[in-house]
Amino acid sequence: MSEPEEAPTVSEPGDAPTVSEQEEARKPARKRRRPGPFTLLALPGLTVLVGSVVFLTVAGKLPGAEDEEPARTPAAEEADATALVDDSFVPWLKQAAGACTVLRPSVLAAQIDAYSGWNTDSAALTGPSGIAGFDEAGWKKWGKDADGNGTSSPKEPVDAIMALGRQDCALADEVTEARTSGTVNGDLLDLTLAAYTRSTAEVTKAGKVPAKATAYVKKIEKLAKHYKTFDKGDASPGQGAAPTSAVLAWPSATHSVSSPYGTREHPLTHVTKLHTGVDFPAAQGTPVTAAREGTVVFAALTKAYGNRIVVDHGTISGAHVQTTYSHLSAMHVTNGQHVTTGTLLGDVGSTGLSTGPHLHFEVIRDGYYNDPMPWLGVGG
């Protein structure tokens, strides 16, 4: 009987060589090449070169390598920012911000910085926008010939600054009214900036600064710190030397002062800023008279100042001087009217943002607010 044939063994997976392995096994073994004479000569030099590059990189001395700039100080950042603004624009920033109690010159400067970086090159700013970013509809509503050159244009910096101030103050009036009525809550400046970047309707609907406006509000407040020097009324070039004797006549028979010129917290808005004039408390209806001869250049009702009159006195001792009279209960002169010292302008009242009957009296010298008392012969 024959022996049974052995069953063929079954290879385990991976035991049998693959096709590629079989082909590779049939190839003759390659001989390792020895380094040629060029390699032997170049290798030491290459090693030295790579080592030098590594050393120079670590040491920070590679050609073209620059040391890191030191951290900027707040003072340096402020100097850089204010250098962007022509000195001649600063009085206009102060005047524009002075149109309402919420606004500050530094805030206006920050808004312009955020939009245009204070680039006054008309060719670089396309369209009608100018430094403050006004479109045609916005300029039609807020634009005026502020510098008196006969042309009203958003590309004229002074016109743009004053237009932005008018727009901001109008928005400030709207949010102030909304907060007074309890419709919204929050800081008035924050609410004003939110209304600027979004709308008053959106602020009112949110009842506070809308989420979509938060980034803009924070950006402006941060930039405004770089321009804080513009808020210092007593440090401005227009302040000049205080008069050593009375230049203006008292505008009211009452000489007592309830709130002097200087930084304070507004009793109604609770915003700390420069109190741009002096408050003379007096009974309702007390006569208010012109402090000097001049021309009425503004006589109208405003929300913040109430009934407000501005008299332009022309040049006094080489400076352009104006006086203002606010919160009047009545006005007895009109825009463009010539007045003399003692002319009845209006009556003491409490219109606008006011805590009671008083006259808010201001002196503006070359566009800057001055302490009125030395001009009246007190404290000079």
Q: Give 88 or 111, the one with higher predicted confidence.
A: 111
Per the DSSP assignment, residues forming a β-bridge with 324 are 310, 362
Segment 26-35 shows an average pLDDT of 49
Query: Which of residues 41 and 281 earns the better pLDDT score?
Result: 281
pLDDT for 19 equals 38
Q: How far is CA 6 from CA 2, 3, 10, 16, in A?
A: 12, 9, 12, 20
Which backbone phi and psi does 24 adopt, to 5 degrees?
Answer: -65, -35
Q: By the 8 A CB rule, do 193 and 167 touch?
A: no
Residue pLDDT, tens place only, 3-24: 444 444 433 434 444 434 444 4
Q: Supply the DSSP symbol for 261.
A: S
**What distance in Å separates the CA atoms of residue 104 and residue 95, rounded to the nearest whole number?**
10
| 188-197 helix and 105-116 helix, angle to the nearest 10 degrees | 30
Per domain, the residue ranges of the chain are 77-231, 240-375
C-alpha to C-alpha distance for 159 and 95, rounded to whole angstroms: 12
Q: 3-class SS at 238?
A: helix
Mean pLDDT of the chain: 80
Residue 48 is predicted with a pLDDT of: 53
Complete DSSP assignment for 138-199: HHHHH----S-SS---TTSHHHHHHHHHHHHHHHHHHHHHHHHTTS--S-HHHHHHHHHHS-
Non-local CB neighbours of 64 within 8 Å, separated by 6+ positions: none
As a whole-number percent, the residues of the chain with pLDDT over 90 amount to 48
pLDDT for 283: 96
pLDDT, position 364: 85
What is the percent of the chain where pLDDT is above 70?
70
The whole-angstrom distance between residue 48's C-alpha and the CA centroid of its chain comes to 56
Least confident segment among 75-89, 271-285, 288-302, 363-377? 75-89
Rounded distance, CA 20 to CA 283, Å? 110
Q: What is the CATH number of domain 240-375?
A: 2.70.70.10
The identity of residue 250, as a single letter, is W
Which residues fall within 8 angstroms of residue 163, CB to CB, at 6 or more apart? 132, 134, 139, 142, 143, 144, 146, 154
Q: Which amino acid is at 335?
A: N
Give the CATH fold of the 77-231 domain. Lysozyme (1.10.530)
Compute the chain's Rg from CA coordinates: 37
343: phi then psi, degrees, rounded to nearest 5: -60, 135
What the block records as the tokens of 270 is 């609770």
Q: What is the mean pLDDT of residues 143-168?
A: 92
Residues 139-178 as b or e (16 or more Cβ within 10 Å = b): beebbeebbeeeeebbbbbbbbbbbbbbbbbbbbbbbbeb
> Tens digits of per-residue pLDDT, 258-313?
999 987 676 666 666 678 899 999 999 999 999 999 999 889 888 778 999 999 99
Identify the residue with better confidence: 216 or 237.
Answer: 216
How confident is residue 183, by pLDDT bands cut at 50, 70 and 90? confident
Q: How far is CA 248 from its chain centroid?
A: 34
Please indicate whether the domains covering 77-231 and 240-375 agree at the CATH topology level: no
Q: Which residue has the higher pLDDT, 125 or 244?
A: 244
pLDDT digits (tens, 9 = 90+) for 101-143: 788 999 999 999 999 999 877 555 555 589 999 999 999 999 9
Find how far residue 238's CA is from the centre of its chain. Answer: 21
